[in-house]
Amino acid sequence: MTENRYTRFFDSIGMSDVEVVGGKNASLGEMYSRLSAQGIYVPNGFATTAEAYFHMLDSAGANDALRSALEGLDVNDVTDLHKRARRAREIVYGAGIPEEISSEIISGYRKLRAEYGDDVSLAVRSSATAEDLPSASFAGAQETFLNVRGGDHLLDACRRCYASLFTDRAIHYRVDQGFDHFKIALSIGIMKMVRSDISSSGVAFTLDTESGFSDVVLISGSWGMGENIVQGAIDPDEFYVHKPTYDAGYRAVLRRRIGRKAVKMVLSEGGVLHDTHNVRTPVAERSRFCLSDEDVLKLAGAAMTIERHYGRPMDIEWAKDGIDGQIYIVQARPETVASHRSASVIETYVLDSRSDVLAEGRAVGDKIAHGSAHIIENLAQLSEFRPGEVLITDTTTPDWEPVMKEAAAIVTNRGGRTCHAAIVARELGVPAVVGTGNATSTLSGGMDLTVSCAEGETGKVYRGRVGFHTETTELSEIAKPATKIMVNLGDPDRAFQTSFLPNDGVGLARMEFIITNSIKAHPMALLHPERVANQDARREITKLTEGYADGASFFVQRLSEGIGTIAAAFWPKPVVVRMSDFKTNEYASLLGGRGFEPEEDNPMLGFRGASRYDHPAYSEGFALECAAMKRVRDEMGLDNVILMLPFVRRVEEATRVLARMEELGLRRGQNGLKVYAMCEIPNNVILIDRFAALFDGFSIGSNDLTQLTLGVDRDSEVVAFDYDERDDGVKEMIRLAVEGCERNGIHSGLCGQAPSDYPDMAAYLVEIGIDSMSLNPDSVLSTTRAVLGIEQELGRSPRQDP
């Protein structure tokens, strides 16, 4: 039997065949033939060849007409582009498919029916011979047809695929990339369709798409077929898995976020060709994740296998079959945006002021832009868009790309971080805020806006043109001081991006930030909702914990994933996590907290820190904190986490709390666990030798130490003039603490803004030999440079460690 000339099955093609079957089909063949043995599932199928495409045009004598249709085209003239592209598609579709090609296609279809059964439905997908290359992504440029059954419908889908090589977006993209329209062919991938319409689907990236952080797999998913995610029609679920700990054998989801998933795409009853439609997602499905932890981890493992095989970060499409329960990989291409950023240069956008926030959504990128709002409701209005405007719309599709490249910023009602608008915005370097829910109704055409994606995971649209500036730093030019420079961080959303700063780890991870922003409720209220008197608060707690076994599991998972994200971002550097240090008035402001907290005249000196941990009023809450930290270290494998106790008043108190931690599974020294204490009470300094026997290090809290050394309530504006961290008495306390740590062979650090705000304080800390300073991210670079200068004056050389 002679080999087919115009079609090739997946088991006979690989990445060396891009010129024959296009990047998409070559990759499917590569995975099917090379990675199946490693547990990567790819639906079987076959591809038409580039020769088939050229033969189709030649047989119909269509080349001259096609060239004439595109001659003199200006792709920036949207109206002309649309007209010419439509004519080109008519020419290609009208060329038909010669019998010698169609017979091979039908023969391949018969083989798939023999393998999967006569009722097998097909996915018919386009694969251009210049797409999915490391330097050029043609994602979504051509058409896909789903649920195709029967030979006639298959051949018609193939004709439509051929014609889609000349969609407006595909033509525009080729011009931008410098590709010749007539040297590129289109290969068609014909494969078993995965029944994700009765399960779930989505995309996976082998890095974080916003920051370029490469130690995680990011998975987005939703119920039904994946087109809704790519098109931005829904807000999907998101999951992160940490690669280094996964490779070390740990199996835990690092972080997750549930999406609204308002609609899902399903097959239409009796449909035969691309016959799908959206239905409202049932409430029960909207409120639960579309993948189990087991599926997330299986998919992350597959993504890492694919990345290793290709040797570069990858953009992967997956689909879970609702019939056999298997997760299939239906596409894998090189990631072409985040992975190409320079790791040695940091460009930071900083707002100079603030204004009214008119809309919020998911931030795409980390830039800020100004522009006049232009609301576009449909394709017919695209020609009205002017360069430099802010594109405001419900959602985007590939047809919108010609105007998206001219936008100052993009704002959509719908979509997540892997939707079409987000993917294109990243590639273009345009800030985008997606999934606002209501931008088209709350914003007005013509109004001046500032779109900011420089404030973490939440993107904001401000009224007017708010001033901003950029800061560029070449990291390779900054040496490492002998004094270690660490960062203060409480926001997991900023962790990946912040990790690129020159640093020696996290000197203070504030647990309170995660409890306030991600958990929102008082730990005791979660444990005992029946004791919450306020009915509205009880209802809100019920809503918060929906989908969890109980309030305790909600707290432990949310807190562990927040801290875990910070620990993963800086892995394997140390991350010092301070156990909760709310004051009673701050605890009371948490949802349901009022009934669990006493009223104090001076909460700053009251029931706070270590005194709470073994007290009957909060002992159960502390147990939840410890359970979360135990999960981070033991189940997630992030043993770079160091625990720190705040406001430890007495040695006896420290002994009791450490014993309580041991009862809860956190024994100092076990599995390398280190426990620090905050040094912020004069008694900590006076009895430093006794405290040092119980802890592995001290972090000097200059704010509280100043308050208690000078007797100044730092919450009181009346005596604020007497609050000064540079007072000689405070500096002497710090010196004695550093000397005590050195004498006892334990770590000394300071977590506070004093060395950032006052150069003389930074000099003092270096002079007395402190081991580390922990600073807010915005002052790391300037303080690092200052410390290097001080050390040079003292004759100390920068560190040479890698």
Active site residues: 420, 751
Instruction: Please give the distance of CA 507 from its chain centroid, rounded to a whole number.
Output: 23
> Closest Cα partner for 605 from 651, 650, 649, 655?
649
What lies within 8 Å, CB to CB, of 616 at 6+ separation is: none
Taking a C-beta distance cutoff of 8 angstroms, is the pair 92, 66 a contact?
yes
For helices 78-94 and 168-177, the axis angle rounded to 10 degrees is 110
| Cα→Cα distances 114→44, 110, 314, 391, Å | 12, 6, 33, 49
Kindly provide the b/e burial profile for residues 710-749, where b requires at least 16 CB atoms within 10 angstroms of the residue's own CB: bebbeeeeeeeeebebeeeebbebbbbbbebbeebebbbb
Q: Both tokens of residue 669?
A: 């020294």
What's the CA gap between 461 and 9, in Å, rounded?
A: 49
Rounded CA-CA distance 737/749 in Å is 10
C-alpha distances (whole Å) from 212 to each of 148, 336, 725 are 38, 11, 38
Whole-angstrom distance, CA of residue 599 vs CA of residue 589: 12
Cα distance from N-terminal residue to C-terminal residue, the chain: 60
| Rounded CA separation 464/355 (Å) | 7
CA 129 to chain centre: 31
How far is Cα 734 from Cα 770, in angstroms, rounded to an integer?
Answer: 9
Phi, psi of 562 (to 5 degrees): -65, -50
Per the DSSP assignment, residues forming a β-bridge with 77 are none
The two tokens of residue 503 are 């640093």
The edge-to-edge listing of strands for the beta sheet with 255-257 is 255-257, 237-242, 216-223, 200-205, 314-320, 327-334
Distances (CA, A) of 266 to 248, 281, 374, 396, 664: 39, 10, 33, 20, 48
C-alpha distance from residue 147 to each of 114, 140, 229, 268, 721 (Å): 17, 18, 18, 9, 74
Measured distance CA(286)–CA(585) in Å, rounded: 36
Asked whether 202 and 224 are in contact (CB, 8 A), the reply is no
Q: How many helices (H) and strands (E) does the chain have?
A: 30, 30
Question: Is the separation of the CB atoms in 636 and 613 below 8 Å?
Answer: no
Q: How far apart are CA 580 and CA 513, in angstroms?
A: 9
If one counts every other C-beta atom within 10 angstroms of the C-beta of residue 304, the result is 18
Residue (of 114, 787, 120) closest to 485 by Cα position: 787
The whole-angstrom separation of Cα 200 and Cα 266 is 10
Q: What is the dihedral of CA 339, 342, 343, 347, to 10 degrees?
A: -120
Longest dimension (CA), the chain: 95
Q: Give the C-alpha separation, 127 to 25, whole Å.
A: 6
Q: How far is CA 46 from CA 106, 184, 283, 787, in A?
A: 11, 20, 39, 62
